[in-house]
Amino acid sequence: MTKFAERIKALPRLGVGLSGEFNIAAKGIDAGWMKANHAELIHFYEYGGDLERGLDDTVRRWAAAGLPTTYHFLDINLEEKQDLDTHWLTQTKALAEEINAAWLCGDAGRWHFGLRERGHGMLMPPILCRESALETAESIQCIEAETGLACVPENPPSVIYVGELHMLDYFALVADRADCGVLLDCAHLAIFQQTRGLSPLAGLDAFPLERVVEMHVAGGSYADLDGFAYIEDNHSPEPLAETWEILEYVLPRATNLKAIVFECERNTPEECLDVFARLNSLFPLNKMEDAAAR
Q: Which of 218, 248, 258, 257 is nearest to 234 (CA)?
A: 218
| Dihedral sign computed on CA atoms, order 216, 220, 225, 227 | positive
* 119 is a contact residue toward other proteins (CB under 8 A): yes
* 117 is a contact residue toward other proteins (CB under 8 A): yes
Provide, rounded to whole angstroms, the least separation between the CB of residue 101 and other proteins: 25
- Measured between alpha carbons, how far is 27 from 229 in angstroms, rounded to an integer? 30
- For other proteins, the binding residue among 1, 10, 26, 225 (CB under 8 A) is 225
Provide, rounded to whole angstroms, the least separation between the CB of residue 165 and other proteins: 10
- For other proteins, the binding residue among 84, 89, 123, 129 (CB under 8 A) is 129
Q: Which of 58, 94, 57 is nearest to 73 (CA)?
A: 94
Say if CB 260 and CB 214 are below 8 A apart: yes
* 249 is a contact residue toward other proteins (CB under 8 A): no
Looking at residue 126, the DSSP 8-state letter turns out to be P
- Measured between alpha carbons, how far is 278 from 188 in angstroms, rounded to an integer? 20
Total residues interacting with other proteins, rule: CB under 8 A: 30
* 89 is a contact residue toward other proteins (CB under 8 A): no
* 292 is a contact residue toward other proteins (CB under 8 A): no
Say if CB 244 and CB 274 are below 8 A apart: no
- Measured between alpha carbons, how far is 197 from 250 in angstroms, rounded to an integer? 20
- For other proteins, the binding residue among 30, 50, 75, 80 (CB under 8 A) is 80
Provide, rounded to whole angstroms, the least separation between the CB of residue 17 and other proteins: 29
Provide, rounded to whole angstroms, the least separation between the CB of residue 6 and other proteins: 32
- Measured between alpha carbons, how far is 76 from 88 in angstroms, rounded to an integer? 8
* 55 is a contact residue toward other proteins (CB under 8 A): no
Give the pairing type, strands 221-225 and 228-232.
antiparallel
* 135 is a contact residue toward other proteins (CB under 8 A): yes
- For other proteins, the binding residue among 3, 9, 118, 294 (CB under 8 A) is 118
- Measured between alpha carbons, how far is 59 from 98 in angstroms, rounded to an integer? 10
Provide, rounded to whole angstroms, the least separation between the CB of residue 128 and other proteins: 8
What is the contact mask toward other proteins in residues 137 to 166, using x (rule: CB under 8 A)? ----------------------xxxxxx--
Residue ranges in contact with other proteins by CB under 8 A: 79-80, 110, 113-115, 117-120, 122, 124, 126-127, 129, 131-132, 135, 159-164, 223, 225-228, 230
